[in-house]
Amino acid sequence: MVLHASTILARTPAQVVSYLTQISSKYAKDSVVFALSANAPELSMLVSRLTALSPHHVGCLSAPVPGVALSCSVAAFSRNEAVSFRSTIPGRAEPQVGRWHAFRKKEETTAASLTDIQEDKNGSVKWDDVWDRSVGFDALPEELRALRPESVTSVIYFSDRAPEGVSNSLSVFPRAMQLGLIASSTPFVTGRPVTLFHDNQIYSSGAVGLGLTTSKAPASSVEFPGLICLTPPLVVTRSEGNLVNELDNANPTRLLLNAIRKHGIDDRNSFKEDDFYLGVVEDGQLNQVYHILSGDPSRGTIALQSHAAPPVGAVVQVRPPLFGVVP
């Protein structure tokens, strides 16, 4: 069960220290989870304070909150119902640029990787399955392997920049709600690509987290404040990988550009391509958003910051941030 959960937005490290002092003796025998913004002054001292709350802890350095000097979040869970884990399951490799791939040996592309490509009844390749292969479906962090799949109700984890491996592996827990956070990039802060903490150890890759085995599954909901609807509901009629090729059998990029012009957003100096999101609507509620990376007016495709776009049949809307937009 959750014993404590709080976040402090502070101007000085002293305010965070005062906050931690109040709870420092309460959760020494429990499992503690924390996230500290990477821009915090006196970072080393604050990390020491956080890891001293309990020898059983997981944490990360997280992205700064805009306009806030530093932020610190702490949660504590009963150790009877929490199993901490460390994952080294690899996620999706970063795209490579250049000629290096031309010198690969042919045997690196194995027959198995080619024959594993499945086709549906219409003969189309299931690209989501292909691109997700070998990123965690057949693995599980060692500490979680002894748990009965139906007993795990929640998993909280912090990951490096490639969370697909650990996220996919957790699909073996059918009842579990997953809550993941990608750690901030910290090469100029700590000298590590990311900075993760697990039971007095520091890691530069992989993931750390808690598997919770509470008797009652928690209720969950998600909100996306600051977004408004720019288009009416549209149905995905063709998508592939992270690309949306058709919306309502029409050119998605042109639909987006027409909506932008209709709302006068293109006349504003503040307009940026990365200010727009594709939201998936289920039962009238927005339950997921995809960051739009780019669009091609001639081909029509919209590229999303995701390994997979919403499937055919999904109902979506384009949504910009609330600020700077006249509906």
Q: What is the pLDDT of residues 287-296, one digit of tens each?
A: 888 888 888 8
Compute the distance between CA of residue 311 and CA of residue 239 in angstroms, rounded to an integer.
Answer: 7
**Which of 166, 220, 151 has the alpha carbon at shortest distance from 58?**
166
Question: In this predicted structure, what is the pLDDT of residue 75?
Answer: 96
* pLDDT score of 325 more than 70: no
Centroid of chain to Cα 115? 31
Compute the distance between CA of residue 98 and CA of residue 108 in angstroms, rounded to an integer.
Answer: 18
Compute the distance between CA of residue 310 and CA of residue 128 in angstroms, rounded to an integer.
Answer: 11
Compute the distance between CA of residue 196 and CA of residue 61 in angstroms, rounded to an integer.
Answer: 7
The residue assigned the tokens 């929640």 is 154
Mean pLDDT over all residues of the chain? Answer: 81
Compute the distance between CA of residue 217 and CA of residue 228 in angstroms, rounded to an integer.
Answer: 32
Compute the distance between CA of residue 160 and CA of residue 155 in angstroms, rounded to an integer.
Answer: 16
Residue type, 207: A
Question: In this predicted structure, what is the pLDDT of residue 307?
Answer: 77
Question: In this predicted structure, what is the pLDDT of residue 320?
Answer: 64
* pLDDT score of 34 more than 80: yes
Cα atoms in the Cβ-side hemisphere of radius 13 Å centred on 258: 9
Question: In this predicted structure, what is the pLDDT of residue 105?
Answer: 38
Question: In this predicted structure, what is the pLDDT of residue 295?
Answer: 83
Question: In this predicted structure, what is the pLDDT of residue 148?
Answer: 92
* pLDDT score of 318 more than 80: no
Question: In this predicted structure, what is the pLDDT of residue 58?
Answer: 97
* pLDDT score of 9 more than 80: yes
User: What residues contact residue 101 under an 8 Å CB cut-off, 6+ apart?
Assistant: none
More confident residue, 321 or 141: 141
> If you ran DSSP here, which 8-state letter would residue 104 be given?
-
Compute the distance between CA of residue 274 and CA of residue 320 in angstroms, rounded to an integer.
Answer: 9
* pLDDT score of 126 more than 80: no
Crossing angle of the two packed helices 43-51 and 13-23, in degrees rounded to 10: 10
Q: What is the DSSP string of 135-168?
A: SSTT---GGGTTS-GGG--EEEEEE-S-THHHHH
Query: Tokens for 105?
Result: 């040996």
Query: Tokens for 321?
Result: 């941030």
More confident residue, 93 or 297: 297
Region 71-76 average pLDDT: 96
Compute the distance between CA of residue 310 and CA of residue 244 in angstroms, rounded to an integer.
Answer: 8
Region 24-46 average pLDDT: 95
Grade residue 100 by pLDDT with cuts at 50, 70 and 90. Answer: very low
Name the 3-class secondary structure at 179.
Answer: strand
Region 146-158 average pLDDT: 93
Question: 97-124 burial, b for 16+ CB within 10 Å, e for fewer?
Answer: eeeeeeeeeeeeeeeeeeeeeeeeeeee
Query: Tokens for 227?
Result: 């977004």
Question: In this predicted structure, what is the pLDDT of residue 266?
Answer: 58
Region 70-82 average pLDDT: 95
Question: In this predicted structure, what is the pLDDT of residue 321?
Answer: 56
Cα atoms in the Cβ-side hemisphere of radius 13 Å centred on 121: 0
| Residue 286, phi then psi, degrees to nearest 5 | -75, 120
Grade residue 210 by pLDDT with cuts at 50, 70 and 90. Answer: very high
**Which of 156, 190, 312 has the alpha carbon at shortest distance from 240?**
312
More confident residue, 109 or 146: 146
Inter-residue contact 75 to 33 (CB < 8 Å): yes
149 vs 152, 166, 174, 261, 326, CA distance in Å? Answer: 6, 15, 7, 50, 48
State percent of the chain over pLDDT 70: 79
* pLDDT score of 113 more than 70: no
Query: Tokens for 63?
Result: 């992205």
**Which of 69, 58, 75 has the alpha carbon at shortest distance from 207?**
58
